[in-house]
Amino acid sequence: MSLIWFDGFEGYSTYADGNGLVGGGLTSLQMTDDQLFHSDYARYSGYGMRVFSEAVQGVYKATFASSPATVILGVAVKKAESGSVSGTGILSRALITFYDGVDEQAGVEVHGSELRILREYNNVLGTTVGAGLDYNVWRYIEIKITIDNSAGVFEVRSNGVVVANLTGIDTQATANAQATGFHLGAGVGQSYCDYYFDDLYVLDTNGAQCNDFLGDVRIDAVRPNGAGTHTDFTPSAGANYENVDEEPGPDDDTTYNEATTIGDQDSYAMESLPSPAGTTILGVKSQVAARKTDAGTRKAKVLTRAGTTDNLGSEESLLDSYSAMADIMEDTTNENRSRQRKRRHGQNNCGD
């Protein structure tokens, strides 16, 4: 598998201190009460993410399933016109950063309408030419980074056009030639950002597909709209699917489905994809929010139903508070998986 993560930002509550921002999902450094996810921030439809700060702020995914030396990340970005950034002449702030644990490896920051490529916080490696990051304009930015002390690579594309291609450079700031996570928005040492993000993907170079630049992709969320094959869980009220169809994300204990017997399963019929007919589906992410309700160890697995086959994700320990669990599957010809997916809480689909 090559897809490490993808996100359309529809599976979370609107505020930074809400559910779904731990575990399988993103973690927030949002320090204000501003909404982090909202339909006003979306590129096409659904929800997008706004990272706004005058201090340390943003979101990150701290742990990849693997620790690759080469990572490809694509995301739609728009510089917001609101806030003091549009009138103060501030030109340069963090946008995308790759980390090794808690330490920064390399990344890019906005520099006027271009992107400046950095190792750590202030070692400038180069600057893009033609990135076109103007205010209130969406650009699909893709980065391929190979982390190495001398054979590093940093390629940047904007709407599919190569705007920087650095080779034979030092992109490694730690003792390890690897990336274990990424960060969107301002971080330590940065003082301001105001960006919209949508349609994010992250992958490595393993596998036969989804192992290089994907180009401009769209990620859509589909939610439950009917009971599925399995209805073992007890709903708090009404039908099981009605308790897990919140938009944009979970509502804590307002509505829920609950089970106490090992092996119980819940699945749901899903909405149709909003993307046009004939769209190539590159991957499916099943994402749920779950918690345990008593002392002791409780575990759960994400269930994704493909056709008539149940696919169970890895076993994960539940916390006392809600956390996100996610399972990503690529739609490969070798696996011949159906594109009709059913899951317990909702679904993100990555397609071009």
What residue segments make up the domains of the chain, in order of their start?
3-213, 220-351
Q: Are the CB atoms for 223 and 11 separated by under 8 Å?
A: no
Tens digit of each residue's pLDDT (9 = 90 or more) over 308-350: 899 998 898 999 988 888 888 886 543 333 333 333 334 444 5
Share of the chain above pLDDT 70, in %: 79
Q: How far apart are CA 161 and CA 235, in angstroms?
A: 50
Tens digit of each residue's pLDDT (9 = 90 or more) over 172-223: 999 999 999 898 886 544 556 788 999 999 999 988 888 999 999 999 889 9
Q: How far apart are CA 252 and CA 234, in angstroms?
A: 16
Q: Which two tokens stand for residue 257?
A: 């489905």
pLDDT of residue 299: 94
Look at domain 3-213 and name its CATH class: mainly beta
pLDDT of residue 331: 66
Q: How far apart are CA 265 and CA 196, in angstroms?
A: 37
Share of the chain above pLDDT 90, in %: 48
127 or 288: which carries more pLDDT confidence? 127
Q: How far apart are CA 230 and CA 63, in angstroms?
A: 32
pLDDT of residue 157: 98
Q: How far apart are CA 150 and CA 90, in angstroms?
A: 32
80: pLDDT strictly greater than 70? yes
18: pLDDT strictly greater than 60? no
pLDDT of residue 53: 64
Tens digit of each residue's pLDDT (9 = 90 or more) over 128-149: 999 999 989 999 999 999 999 9
- pTM metric for this prediction: 0.87
Tens digit of each residue's pLDDT (9 = 90 or more) over 92-123: 578 999 999 889 999 998 888 999 999 987 89
Angle at 29 between CA 26 and CA 33, to 5 degrees: 105
Residue from 42, 198, 186, 44 nearest 107 by CA = 186
Angle at 171 between CA 135 and CA 201, to 5 degrees: 50
Exposed e or buried b per residue across 247-281, where buried means at least 16 C-beta atoms within 10 angstroms of its C-beta: ebbbbeeebbbeeeeeeebbbbebbebebeeeeeb
Exposed e or buried b per residue across 177-186, where buried means at least 16 C-beta atoms within 10 angstroms of its C-beta: bbbbbbbbbb
Sign of CA dihedral 29, 34, 37, 42: negative
Q: What mean pLDDT is reported for the chain?
A: 82
49 or 35: which carries more pLDDT confidence? 49
Q: How far apart are CA 145 and CA 171, in angstroms?
A: 8
With a CB cutoff of 8 Å and minimum separation 6, the contacts of 15 are 33, 35, 36
| Average pLDDT value for residue range 291-298 | 94
pLDDT of residue 261: 94
